[in-house]
């Protein structure tokens, strides 16, 4: 099925519903596609009539890699490999016969579906489908026409400058182009939830920076590498990103030394939120993102979420709030983070876990327990030890 003039057609999703600002969404999406395909070769990328055209500029282009990469770009609803040809029935039939020869060899039945974006084309969509289908039926006598349940659907699109022939398209990532929904800081642990919540917010067009907390010697370098690998896997969808790494050992040891055990996790999370907000303000971000799901653990009851959110002034986005673990695992598998997330390296969330955590905490009681700590000094010390790493899709796997 490979041909030197094969190209990709990327169908726009939600972007087509935009009004006066649609052009800015399209421009951002084209820019994101260009950046994502840079490692696959030289491509011309442009948008026409709710479709992004991706044309290889040399035989050296890796079309398989480009096809896979395009499916990860948020804002793209579907991806099809296609071949352009002249806008005549004969040219379309010749192209379909050659380009889809392998598909016809495996099919028992087929039909033709046509779209006519160029309304000046003299035939209607139905007339074109009938003409092309009749010719192809003669050229492939072993394959019958079945308009209801065909093994193969041949798609024909008549557009401004050419006709395009392609087999069925595959789903893209959907959503909105990254960069159109503002910027947020996502709290990234090594678990299943936070990579999925980060992916879900990036799918709404949000540009992300990550913050990760480390507690040596209680957490290992392998645990940090695991998180950086999760971030690398997410860059296929989100684009390159910065991971802020904040030392958390002193805070956790002080909490253990001076606070009631049932509040360990809640007070720890309050510090995480404070630190993440400080990073967000410095990064020009407008929200925090967490992987919390209502009732999943003791610190994620409704009262507990209110206690942790009490210390920040910016919105806390929780895309997983109404999801159960089965749904989260399904998405983790789909986006490729599951196998890394289940590696057994502990992160700081599991350090000093209370035996009987408070599930119905009163905010006043938690504030009183936290008053034993010099909160401002601990936050300032942790921020002074912050480092950051820029993660790119082209990085070598870390795990």
Q: Are residues 28 and 129 in the same domain?
A: yes
Q: Are residues 138 and 30 in the same domain?
A: yes
Cα separation of 272 and 279, whole Å?
11
Q: Are residues 37 and 57 in the same domain?
A: yes
Please check whether residue 244 lies inside any domain of the structure: yes
Q: Are residues 133 and 189 in the same domain?
A: no
Please name which of 347, 184, 197, 193 lies closest in space to residue 268, comparing C-alpha atoms. 347
pLDDT for the residue numbered 50: 87
pLDDT tens sequence for the chain (399 residues): 344 589 999 999 898 888 889 999 999 999 999 999 999 999 999 998 889 999 999 999 999 999 999 999 999 999 999 999 999 999 999 999 999 999 999 999 999 999 998 989 999 999 999 999 999 999 999 999 999 999 999 999 999 889 999 988 999 999 999 999 999 999 999 999 999 999 999 999 999 999 999 999 999 999 999 999 999 999 999 999 999 999 999 999 999 999 999 999 999 999 999 999 999 999 999 999 999 999 998 889 999 999 999 999 999 999 999 999 999 999 999 999 999 999 988 777 777 788 888 889 999 999 999 999 999 999 999 999 999 999 998 899 988
pLDDT for the residue numbered 182: 96
What per-residue string of b and e applies to 165-181 under the rule 16 or more CB within 10 Å gives b?
bbbebeebbebbbbbbb
What 3-state DSSP class applies to 264?
Answer: helix
CATH of the domain at 225: 3.40.50.620
Q: Are residues 104 and 207 in the same domain?
A: no
What 3-state DSSP class applies to 365?
Answer: helix
Choose one of 112, 143, 171: the last residue of a domain: 171
What range defines the domain where residue 111 resides?
7-171
Q: Are residues 191 and 67 in the same domain?
A: no
Please check whether residue 139 lies inside any domain of the structure: yes
Q: Are residues 99 and 153 in the same domain?
A: yes
Q: Are residues 123 and 226 in the same domain?
A: no
Choose one of 171, 193, 218: the last residue of a domain: 171
Instruction: List CB contacts of 33: < 8 A, sequence separation 6 or more.
Output: 10, 45, 52, 54, 70, 73, 76
pLDDT for the residue numbered 359: 85
Give me the number of domains the chain comprises: 2
Q: Are residues 253 and 150 in the same domain?
A: no
Please check whether residue 398 lies inside any domain of the structure: no
pLDDT for the residue numbered 3: 46
Q: Which residue has the tokens 């010697």?
A: 217
Tokens standing for residue 379: 């936050």
CATH of the domain at 19: 3.30.2130.30
Q: Are residues 51 and 146 in the same domain?
A: yes
Q: What pTM, to 2 d.p., does this model score?
A: 0.91
Please check whether residue 178 lies inside any domain of the structure: no
The answer to whether residues 212 and 243 touch, using CB atoms and an 8 Å cutoff, is yes
Q: How far apart are the first and last CA of the chain?
A: 36
Tokens standing for residue 355: 């035996």
Q: Are residues 211 and 353 in the same domain?
A: yes
Please check whether residue 397 lies inside any domain of the structure: no
Please check whether residue 303 lies inside any domain of the structure: yes
Q: Are residues 166 and 213 in the same domain?
A: no
């Amino acid at each position: 099925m490979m041909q030197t003039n094969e190209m990709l057609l990327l169908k726009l999703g939600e972007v087509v519903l935009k009004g006066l600002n649609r052009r800015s969404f399209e421009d951002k999406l084209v820019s994101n596609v260009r950046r994502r395909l840079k490692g696959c070769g030289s491509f011309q990328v442009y948008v026409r009539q709710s479709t992004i055209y991706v044309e290889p500029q040399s035989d050296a282009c890796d079309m398989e890699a480009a096809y896979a990469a395009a499916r990860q770009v948020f804002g793209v609803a579907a991806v099809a490999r296609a071949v352009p040809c002249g806008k005549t029935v004969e040219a379309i039939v010749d192209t379909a016969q050659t380009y889809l020869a392998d598909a016809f060899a495996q099919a028992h039945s087929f039909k033709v579906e046509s779209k006519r974006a160029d309304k000046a084309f003299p035939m209607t969509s139905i007339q074109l489908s009938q003409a092309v289908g009749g010719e192809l039926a003669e050229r492939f006598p072993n394959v019958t026409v079945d308009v209801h349940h065909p093994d193969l659907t041949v798609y024909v699109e008549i557009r401004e400058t050419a006709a395009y022939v392609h087999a069925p398209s595959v789903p893209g990532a959907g959503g909105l182009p990254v960069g159109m929904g503002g910027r947020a800081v996502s709290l990234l642990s090594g678990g299943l939830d936070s990579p999925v919540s980060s992916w879900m917010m990036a799918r709404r067009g949000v540009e992300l920076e990550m913050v990760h907390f480390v507690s040596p010697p209680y957490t290992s370098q392998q645990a940090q590498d695991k998180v950086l690998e999760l971030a690398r896997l997410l860059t296929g969808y989100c684009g390159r990103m910065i991971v802020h790494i904040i030392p958390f050992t002193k805070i956790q040891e002080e909490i253990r030394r001076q606070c009631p055990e049932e509040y360990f996790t809640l007070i720890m999370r309050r510090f995480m939120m404070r630190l993440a907000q400080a990073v967000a303000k410095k990064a020009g971000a407008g929200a925090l993102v967490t992987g919390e799901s209502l009732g999943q653990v003791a610190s994620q009851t409704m009262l507990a979420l209110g206690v942790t959110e009490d210390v920040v002034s910016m919105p806390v986005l929780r895309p997983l709030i109404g999801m159960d673990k089965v749904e989260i695992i399904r998405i983790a598998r789909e986006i490729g983070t599951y196998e890394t997330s289940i590696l057994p390296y502990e992160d700081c969330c599991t350090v000093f876990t209370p035996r009987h955590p408070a599930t119905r905490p009163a905010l006043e009681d938690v504030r009183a327990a936290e008053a034993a700590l010099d909160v401002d000094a601990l936050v300032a010390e942790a921020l002074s030890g912050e480092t950051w790493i820029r993660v790119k899709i082209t990085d070598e796997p870390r795990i």
